[in-house]
Structure 1
Amino acid sequence: MYKNSILKPCGRLHQSPVGNRKEGRALNTNAPGSRKRGRPPRLSREQIVEAAYRIVRDEGAENLTMRRLSRVLGSTPMALYHHVRDKDELLTLVLEHVAQDLPRPPLPDNPRERIIVVCELMHRAFVDNPWVVPVVARGELVGLSAVWMTEEIIGALIDSGLGREQAFWTHQTIWYYTAGQTLHTPPREPSQDTGERAPHYPKVAATEPSPTAFPHLAKVAGDSRQLEAQYSYRLGLTHILDGALPPGSALR
């Protein structure tokens, strides 16, 4: 009795509309519009790196996580770990992705000129990819295809007469200057109320609390905006080199 009860449902359940609907769905799995479940599409390392690059470019490296990236790719975090070990390895791959597209033009023979050309290339790369600065500032991650810039700068500093330690330290000074220029906050927009910009800080300092409180700032208060506009990355780099390089190595 029990055997027949298991193999053959009673008449009421067999005729149930719910049972018919289940049966109908089972027989209609190939109907148009039905979706088959399966594994997500297979990923390549190139797809992962490109998607990660778009995230750090648009949102910053701090917003790159395996979970965030997996959502963008329609995959799972575990699937990503088949291609990259962790976030640091992923960032290294993204840095290399950017570094491979950087230009590498012929360089001048003169060491000082060579430093300036390479540093301006580095500055341009940072301006185009500002998210790179805080990542490489850690000193642990790097795109190897961009390391030639460091090699050229240190080599040119040594060719200019600096010792090994001085060349390395001067390169560090140049790097931090370049990074700071990249992250420099642009001047405020004109006031929406009056259409004029607020007074520049030297002018404010020269008049408050008294005109004699900051006499040197008072000397530049009148045209400090114009002086600021004339300042450039190359001018600041020239000041660094003038102070760091031995006499006689200046660009003529």
Structure 2
Amino acid sequence: MKDPAIVTRSPRRRVDQHKIVARAMRLARDDGLQAVTMRRLADELGTAPMTLYRHIPDRQALLLAMLDEVARGVAWPPPASDPRAEITAVLTAIHDALCRDSWAIGLIVTDKLAGPSIVPALERMFAALRRAGLTPRDSRVAFALLWHYTVGELLDSHMDAPDDPIGRRMVRESDPDAFPTLAAVVAGVPAGPPGDWFPENLQRVLDGLLPPTARHDAG
């Protein structure tokens, strides 16, 4: 017969940084970034919050590790010799990855966080801009515009939001007699989320950024 003074505890599960980040990613995808707290993670992993701090110093470090995991999971295309094709391929790969992990968009835009695994992609982007004939300064300006377009499109079209938000519905239901041009433009656009205009608008942006000799078809 067991001594009643002896309390049997369930054994704590072994955790490491990889397991912590993987579970945090799952929580963010399933329940949103607000669900990712150290206490919730500890409960999910069957351990104590203090155990997590042995591997991750604080929540910001966890968020950086999660962003780095997103970057490592990007399906990077092989390098292209044509600058326009290279820029298009790299930005499209980033865009597609952030569509899958939309919880990361706010961290990148608002908190200005990024993991080190994104640096090779930045090198490719700037190398392509320089090959296209842009000066170092113009390359920085051009990259800023390309990045702002990419994250702006993600914020507008891929963040968790109603399919028919109030602003879009308000425009669609405006008085056609008072706003005839607006009514004509939106008449053929169905209700719901906007179309996938990222690829064609990216090419429009590149038309304005790249010198004429670099304006090849991106294929």
TM-score range relative to shorter protein = 0.7 to 0.9
Report what 1:41 is aligned to. 13
Change (3 A) 1:66 1:119: same
Q: Matches of 1:161 and 1:215 in 2, distance apart?
A: 44
Give yes or no for contact 1:115–1:153 (8 Å, CA) kept in 2: yes
Deviation sequence 1:174-205 (CA, Å, 0-9, x none) = 2222223223157539xxxxxxxx98936x44
Report what 1:234 is aligned to. 199
Return 5+ residue gaps in structure 1 as ranges: 1-27, 190-197
Return 5+ residue gaps in structure 2 as ranges: none
Report what 2:74 is aligned to. 102
Give yes or no for contact 1:126–1:179 (8 Å, CA) kept in 2: no
Matched, 1:188 2:170: no
Q: Matches of 1:67 and 1:159 in 2, distance apart?
A: 49
Give TM-score scaled by structure 2 length: 0.79
Deviation sequence 1:151-178 (CA, Å, 0-9, x none) = 2122212222222232223222222222
Give yes or no for contact 1:60–1:131 (8 Å, CA) kept in 2: yes
Report what 2:117 is aligned to. 145
Matched, 1:29 2:2: yes
Deviates more, 1:160-169 or 1:38-47: 38-47
Q: Matches of 2:164 and 2:111 in 1, distance apart?
A: 32
Change (3 A) 1:235 1:44: same
Report what 1:217 is aligned to. 182
Q: How far has the Cα of 1:38 moved from its partner?
A: 6.5
Change (3 A) 1:143 1:215: same
Give yes or no for contact 1:115–1:156 (8 Å, CA) kept in 2: yes
Give yes or no for contact 2:28–2:35 (8 Å, CA) kept in 1: yes
Displaced runs of 4 or more, over 4 A:
228-231
Identity %: 31
Change (3 A) 1:123 1:38: closer
Change (3 A) 1:230 1:93: closer
Deviation sequence 1:228-249 (CA, Å, 0-9, x none) = 9776211110111112222332
Q: Matches of 1:153 and 1:160 in 2, distance apart?
A: 11
Report what 2:171 is aligned to. 201
RCO comparison, higher one (Cα < 8 Å, 6+): 2
Change (3 A) 1:56 1:156: same
Rg larger in 1 or in 2? 1
Q: Matches of 1:150 and 1:138 in 2, distance apart?
A: 19
